[in-house]
């Protein structure tokens, strides 16, 4: 499955469930309805575990409920408070989250790690609780989804891994909600341009690619204006969009050394063809561009994030971005005094 999930231990004694890491939403909820998902996702859904508040001595209901809506799917949840523990970290007490009574097109629960209380929620969300209960020293976390070949990534709440990126971190201010395309406080940043760098020949920079985008680990695909996606697909030799809205791409391109380059102030993230081309299991194999056109807003999903290392810093109101690399592990704690801007990679002898 393409989703990126995190183990969450809830209750006393702990009940283990898996939830999708989603930087594009703001609430934690569990217990999806596996009968309302595509048949191809049902087995995965049934394997992620479930939470029963009656089996936890520390569970408490809030007597509140909500309908949570996503780009795809929705969930009706009742809110509970209970103990939540992450691997290797102290347990947090009385953390609020949702337990689904029904859901549609959601094959796992969701760990929304956007801005919470006073911004998008009226209660302390997961990120708020980590800082308030002293598990982290700031409302910050770092995310490396890892390449498709690696099949695993790492998220560090309250820390940064200098062995997971190249060069230095570039600091991008988070665009305020009132200045964003949809008026919602998300991880919005300004992007300067997108270019196509083929294995041979000159790079082509696409017009009208200076825009505000948000980083969304909950989206498998990258969404950009329709004209931009069409131009990128054409540059990759696609003959056009099919009836499902995808652009067919020659699978042989995935083995070539070309990149799609996303430029920001201070850093360019080069996404290899192999990461942005998605292969569908069929005979013969079929491949598609991992982007779709959008008329609402632009987001950089997993087909971008697998080539990036990002530190999401709500305390500092910034995102720190670099090209993804993997030369081991060297974790530093993020504190209010941490100098993340210009922090150097430990790969290749840096410090």
The residue from 22, 41, 82, 128 that is catalytic is 22
**Contact at 8 Å (CB) between 330 and 346?**
yes
Distance of alpha carbon 324 from alpha carbon 143, whole angstroms? 10
DSSP 236-277: TT---B-TTSPBEE-GGGGGS--EEEEEETTEEEEEEHHHHE
Is 22 considered catalytic here? yes
Joined together, the tokens standing for residue 66 give 């909500």
Upper half-sphere CA count for residue 36 (Cβ side, 13 Å): 16
The residue from 4, 41, 161, 216 that is catalytic is 216
Question: Three-class SS of residue 149?
Answer: coil
Distance of alpha carbon 226 from alpha carbon 58, whole angstroms? 49
Report how far Cα 342 is from the mean position of its chain's Cα atoms.
Answer: 23
Distance of alpha carbon 142 from alpha carbon 159, whole angstroms? 6
Q: Which residues are CB-contacts of 98 (< 8 A; sequence separation ≥ 6)?
A: 27, 28, 29, 30, 66, 68, 75, 77, 78, 79, 80
Q: Which residues are CB-contacts of 103 (< 8 A; sequence separation ≥ 6)?
A: 32, 33, 36, 73, 74, 75, 76
Joined together, the tokens standing for residue 280 give 């569908």
Question: Three-class SS of residue 231?
Answer: helix
H helices then E strands: how many in the chain? 5, 26
Is 216 considered catalytic here? yes
Nearest to 141 by CA among 165, 128, 127, 158: 158
Q: Where are the alpha helices (DSSP H) in the chain?
A: 39-46, 126-132, 226-235, 273-276, 302-305
Distance of alpha carbon 60 from alpha carbon 79, whole angstroms? 9
Say how many C-beta atoms besides its own lie within 10 A of residue 54's C-beta.
Answer: 7
Active centre residues (catalytic): 22, 216
């Amino acid at each position: 499955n393409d989703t990126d999930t995190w183990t969450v231990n809830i209750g006393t004694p702990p009940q283990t469930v898996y939830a999708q890491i989603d930087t594009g939403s703001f609430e934690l909820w569990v217990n999806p309805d596996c009968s309302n998902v595509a048949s191809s996702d049902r087995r995965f859904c049934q394997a992620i575990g479930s939470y029963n508040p009656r089996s936890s001595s520390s569970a408490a209901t809030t007597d509140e409920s909500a309908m949570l809506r996503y780009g795809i799917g929705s969930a009706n949840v009742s809110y509970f408070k209970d103990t939540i523990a992450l691997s290797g970290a102290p347990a947090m007490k009385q953390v609020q989250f949702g337990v689904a009574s029904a859901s549609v097109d959601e094959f796992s629960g969701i760990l929304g790690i956007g801005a919470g209380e006073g911004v998008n929620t009226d209660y302390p969300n997961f990120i708020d609780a980590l800082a308030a209960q002293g598990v982290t020293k700031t409302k910050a976390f770092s995310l490396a989804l890892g390449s498709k070949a690696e099949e695993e990534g790492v998220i560090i709440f309250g820390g940064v891994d200098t062995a997971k990126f190249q060069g230095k971190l570039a600091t991008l201010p988070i665009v305020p909600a009132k200045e964003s395309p949809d008026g919602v406080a998300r991880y919005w940043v300004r992007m300067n341009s997108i270019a196509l760098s083929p294995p041979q020949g000159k790079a082509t920079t696409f017009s009208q690619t200076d825009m505000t985008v948000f980083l969304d680990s909950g989206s498998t695909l990258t969404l950009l204006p329709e004209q931009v996606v069409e131009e990128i697909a054409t540059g990759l030799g696609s003959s056009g969009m099919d009836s499902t809205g995808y652009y067919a791409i020659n699978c042989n391109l995935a083995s070539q050394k070309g990149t799609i380059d996303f430029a920001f102030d201070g850093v360019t993230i080069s996404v290899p063809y192999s990461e942005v081309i998605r292969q569908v299991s069929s005979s013969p194999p079929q491949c598609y561009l991992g982007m779709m056109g959008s008329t609402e807003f632009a987001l950089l999903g997993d087909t971008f994030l697998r080539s990036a290392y990002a530190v999401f810093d709500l305390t500092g109101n910034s995102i720190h971005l670099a090209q993804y690399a993997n030369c081991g592990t060297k974790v530093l704690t993020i504190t209010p005094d941490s100098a993340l801007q210009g922090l150097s990679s430990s790969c290749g002898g840096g410090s």
